[in-house]
Amino acid sequence: MPYRLALTLGLSLLAVAPVQAQTPLSVVATIGMIGDIAQTVGGDCVAVQTMMGPGIDPHLYQATARDVQTLNRAGLILYSGYGLEGQLGDVFARYSERVPTLAVAEAGIAQEDLIATDDAYGVDPHLWMDVSLWAQTVPAIADQLTALIPDCGPAIAANAEAYQSQLAALHGWATEAITSIPEGQRILVTAHDAFAYYGRAYGIDVAGIQGISTQSEAAIADIRQTADLIVERNVPAIFVESTINPRTIQAVIEAARQAGQEVEIGGELYSDAMGDAGTAGGTYIGMIHSNTTAISGALGGTPPTLPDELSDWAQQWSLN
Ligand code: ZN
């Protein structure tokens, strides 16, 4: 069998000298928040492709024939895990037998930091919403890249360190921005429960109309319950999400209005996907920056100026 022969040859070569993958290493990432880290940390040593682009909902995603081709050619597959990619998780588990494959959240983020849920997976997978947690995937990704392309190790280490310091600064900035909202108004109402980690990290109550996954439609009871909460807490603004149909949010606004509370749409948040490539929102830092600016602004806070560590990033996107 030719395949087995090739495998045997490959193994015997491996025994003589460590095999270094060709650069740029072809990396396939599921979500943009992973692809961005791989590209930032890998630099010129990697060529990253992201399967799920702007506005794509990872909970419902099904691999296309084209994805399968891309995965078959990959030198490294990166996915989040903890149930984020739904049934695709099983597909990646099978790929892991022949392509280096890493579930970055499962590898990088400790069990004790997870928020439990009562769905089939038992874990809330929206870990990128807490920058200090998502930053823990950076060394996991860097280690995996270095193992495959060791000649790039020093560059990868330097890039990872620089990126970690940007993320630490971003985390501090987001904390300050949310703290600037008057205490009684620190409540974030969105379409689905993607923001529990955000709420825990930055100190804001969170209410999602629909559950953790988008696999079920919001029920009438959920809409009424959310409207009651808005009236009770005097919530001035609620938010739509880039990956979710805004119809549910409109229904809540209407129900709150009938109960005498005017509430507006505070903006569109990036929940499960980043914005368009070539825009600030198309980066992980920009996703958190844009969400935090929208949330603090609409709820009566004032985001502080960006810290020095992010001035290069801000300049790149003409934000200041
Ligand atoms: Zn989600």
Q: Residue written as tokens 């971003």?
A: 170
**Tens of pLDDT, residues 242-285:** 777 788 889 999 999 999 999 999 999 999 999 999 999 999 99
Q: Residue 69, class by beta-carbon neighbours within 10 Å (0-12 exposed, 13-18 middle, 19+ buried)? A: exposed
174-210 as b/e: b if 16+ CB within 10 A: bbbbbebbeeebbbbbbbbbbbbbbbbbbebebbbbb
**Same fold yes or no, 3-151 and 172-316:** yes
Per-residue pLDDT at 248 = 86
Superfamily of domain 3-151: Nitrogenase molybdenum iron protein domain (3.40.50.1980)
CA 13 to ligand 1 centroid distance, Å: 44
Q: Which residues are found with C-beta within 5 Å of the ion, ligand 1?
A: 194, 272
CATH architecture of 172-316: 3-Layer(aba) Sandwich (3.40)
For residues 65 and 15, the answer to whether their CB atoms sit within 8 Å is: no
CA 295 to ligand 1 centroid distance, Å: 18
CA angle in degrees (0–180, nearest 5) for 115-302-225: 45
CA 157 to ligand 1 centroid distance, Å: 31
Band (214; pLDDT cuts 50, 70, 90): low
The answer to whether residue 11 scores a pLDDT higher than 70 is no
CA 308 to ligand 1 centroid distance, Å: 31
CA 273 to ligand 1 centroid distance, Å: 9
Per-residue pLDDT at 18 = 56
Helix (H), strand (E) counts: the chain: 13, 8
Domain ranges for the chain: 3-151, 172-316
CA 118 to ligand 1 centroid distance, Å: 15
CA 84 to ligand 1 centroid distance, Å: 7
Who contacts 233 (Cβ-Cβ below 8 Å, separation ≥6)? 184, 187
CA 303 to ligand 1 centroid distance, Å: 25
CA 272 to ligand 1 centroid distance, Å: 5
The answer to whether residue 4 scores a pLDDT higher than 50 is no
**Tens of pLDDT, residues 160-189:** 999 999 999 999 999 999 999 999 999 999
- Give the pTM: 0.90
Per-residue pLDDT at 212 = 60
**Tens of pLDDT, residues 68-91:** 999 999 999 999 999 999 889 889
